[in-house]
Amino acid sequence: MAEHCAPTFEGLAKSLGFSCEEAGGLFELRSPLALENWTLPVLETTIILGSILALVWAVIRLRRHGDPTNLVLWFGATAYLFVIEPPLYFPAAFGISEHVDTMFAHNVFTVDFLWGRLPLYIVAIYPFMATIAYELVRMLGVFRYGALAGATCVGFVHHAFYEIFDQIGPQLRWWEWTTDNPLNQPMFDSVPLPSVVVFAALWPMSLAFCVYRFVGRRVDAGEQFTGVQLVWRTLVIGLAASAGTFILPLPATVLGAGSTTVRGVIYALELIVLSAVAVWLMYRQWSRLRQPGNTEPRYDNAFVRVYAAVYLVVFAVLWATALPDFFNAKNGITENGDPIGNLWYTLACFAVGILSVAAVSFRPATGSHDAGLTPALAGGDS
């Protein structure tokens, strides 16, 4: 697809070790042993397996308990992916090349789509990460305070899990950013700050809000849906979450127009406020659950509790193996010429991830705890 090999993308592709003009077609399969390094197949196996298991669990949840929330969440996140990603890969084809240049390029993986633009693991990571974050917050019971409260916490937890991945990707050559693209400014070490805020925190917040408002709270109230109702609600959720991703960053987009510094400060403030509110809500609910005599039924998702821990262990190993090159880097660049992320920020994200998993794994026992068979309590937002 040489006609869509924009100069910027071609430059990123060559830097990653492949040619845009020779990159497959709609679908390409290659040996995992032929990839850039051993971390690429480990990454895609972890994410793709997790996404498949999340889908299987969502189907089981629907069939056994009549709860379609997880299935709508999974497909809603996938719908969001196909609204957001293609224009970023082919701005010329969508008529936006005068306004949006290539922002990044993925390396080639075992399974790729769209002429080397879209690895299968990227398709999988949207519903996988959304499921992990949403279910951890749902198990903790934060949605009892309403859709916005729960969604804020989902954005916070998703941000932590995502940044563990986001901060190491460029160093391990999973992708490469166009660092001089205005849409990627300001940079936070090797990651654009807009990615840290918008794609790690605000889009999952938007998605979670829509899922809970359109489906989750109604399921908690005992409502049932037909197949047609679930299909159109899922499509609406994908579109509405996309709109939310445009609306939530507007303060930085509008007030920061013309000034990278101002835009960066506002992005950072948005993330700080979201994090502060989420920490307060999650701690408040965690403390409430541990009060003596609290016997309310608890929603549980054993798959998420276990696989979230697996994810953290896998990425701890990936980070540990990357540390020698990280510490030998000069001016933020390794000897191989790859940019490094922010280790301290990543450690903070690991701490949030570990505490989130621990909070739902070591809850005090109650007389009505049912190991995942009882629906979540209805939220206060009805």
Return the amino acid letter for 309: A
Produce one character per residue of 145-178: b if its CB has 16 or more CB atoms within 10 Å, e if not: bbbbbbbbbbbbbbbbbbbbbbbbbbbbbbbbbb
Q: What is the pLDDT of residue 132?
A: 98
What's the average model confidence in pLDDT over 40-60?
97
Q: What is the pLDDT of residues 168-215, one digit of tens each?
A: 999 999 999 998 888 899 999 999 999 999 999 999 999 999 999 999
Question: Of 116, 86, 114, 98, whose CA–CA distance to 10 is shortest?
Answer: 116
Q: What pLDDT band is residue 362 in, cutting at 50, 70 and 90?
A: confident
What's the average model confidence in pLDDT over 329-357?
97
Q: What pLDDT band is residue 365 in, cutting at 50, 70 and 90?
A: low
Q: What is the pLDDT of residue 217?
A: 92
Q: What would the 3-class secondary structure string for the chain be?
A: CHHHCCHHHHHHHHHHCCCCCCCCCCEEECCHHHCCCCHHHHHHHHHHHHHHHHHHHHHHHHHHHCCCHHHHHHHHHHHHHHHHHHHHHCCCCCCCCCCCCCCEEECCCCEEECCCCEEHHHHHHHHHHHHHHHHHHHHHCHHHHCHHHHHHHHHHHHHHHHHHHHCCCCCCCCEEECCCCHHHCCEECCEEHHHHHHHHHHHHHHHHHHHHHHHHHHHHCCCCCCHHHHHHHHHHHHHHHHHHHHHCCHHHHHHCCCCHHHHHHHHHHHHHHHHHHHHHHHHHHHHHHCCCCCCCCCCCCHHHHHHHHHHHHHHHHHHHHHHHHHHCCECCECCCCCECCCHHHHHHHHHHHHHHHHHHHCCCCCCCCCCCCCCCCCCCCC
Q: What is the pLDDT of residue 378?
A: 36
Q: What is the pLDDT of residue 89?
A: 80
Lowest mean pLDDT among 100-104, 234-238, 265-269, 299-303: 100-104
Preceding amide of 186 cis, omega within 30:
yes
Q: What is the pLDDT of residue 366?
A: 57
Q: What is the pTM of this model?
A: 0.92
Q: What is the pLDDT of residue 292?
A: 83
Lowest mean pLDDT among 3-7, 137-141, 206-210, 360-364: 3-7
Residues 6+ apart with CB under 8 A from 185: 192, 193, 194, 260, 263, 264
What's the average model confidence in pLDDT over 268-277?
97
Q: What is the pLDDT of residue 310?
A: 98
Is the pLDDT assigned to residue 369 strictly greater than 50?
Answer: no
Q: What is the pLDDT of residues 210-269, one digit of tens each?
A: 999 999 999 988 899 888 999 999 999 989 998 988 899 989 989 888 899 999 999 999
Q: What is the pLDDT of residue 135?
A: 98
Assigned token pair, 253 = 């987009």
What's the average model confidence in pLDDT over 314-341?
96
Residue labelled with tokens 């998605």: 207
Average pLDDT, the chain: 89
